[in-house]
Amino acid sequence: MIINIDKPIGWSSFDVVKKVKNITKHKKVGHAGTLDPFASGVLIIGTDSDTKKLTGITNADKAYEAQLELGKTTNTLDTEGEIIHMKAIPEFDSGKIKSVLNKFLGKQKQKPPMYSAKKHKGVRLYKLARKNIEVERKDIEISIHNIELVDFTKNVIRFIVECSKGTYVRVLGKDIAKKLDTVGYLSALKRTKVGDYLISDSLSIDGFQDKWKSIHH
């Protein structure tokens, strides 16, 4: 079974896997493409023999709605971390933001953040980051297919992005802020699409639980 779940904010991807395991009593449950706890949106869960399909789904393109807070940044590049740096925000208009966003279109190299599940010599980077250890990370080749400004205020930019697997939108946010001559972190992130799976078709955890009970009562 493949389930398209709208992951709630504050849950880790593994929390969702555990919950689905608990609801369905299926022994084998996995997910495609980790979504950070602070983020919400499409998380694809596979159970039993369908867990084999998860690798293909993980490799699919993704789409996100992101909110970038300017003028300060955190060690995690999202709301989970502590503010480590502040910088004045220059004035800009939509034309300036759009020209900055357009610079990110196409293939490029991106360095994974220290607060990520990537491994260094078998240890997950975030475990090292929590001990204030920074290590060299290899750049990953990513591709941004589409990036558009939704709206903005003096210190918040909302944008949508369609990108290849392995893209860290938190790093993209940091890099956008840098090109605007300030610093920033993501104050909200919602995944709206994974391959052919859309947020409009997602079930909440409760919604899935109710549906499961109605079929298997």
Active-site residue set:
36
Copy the structure tokens of residue 60.
Answer: 């699919």
From 16, 8, 46, 4, select the one nearest 193 (Cα to Cα): 4
For every residue of 148-187, DSSP letters joined together read EEEEE-SSEEEEEEEE-TT--HHHHHHHHHHHTTS-EEEE
82 φ, ψ to 5°?
-105, 145
> Whole-angstrom Cα distance, residue 181 to residue 107?
23
For every residue of 60-94, DSSP letters joined together read S-EEEEEEEEESEEETTSSTTS-EEEE-PPPP--H
Copy the structure tokens of residue 42.
Answer: 């499409």
Give the C-alpha distances (Å, rounded to integers) separating 183 from 11, 69, 74, 109.
Answer: 27, 9, 9, 20
> Whole-angstrom Cα distance, residue 156 to residue 17?
33
From 34, 24, 29, 59, select the one nearest 46 (Cα to Cα): 29
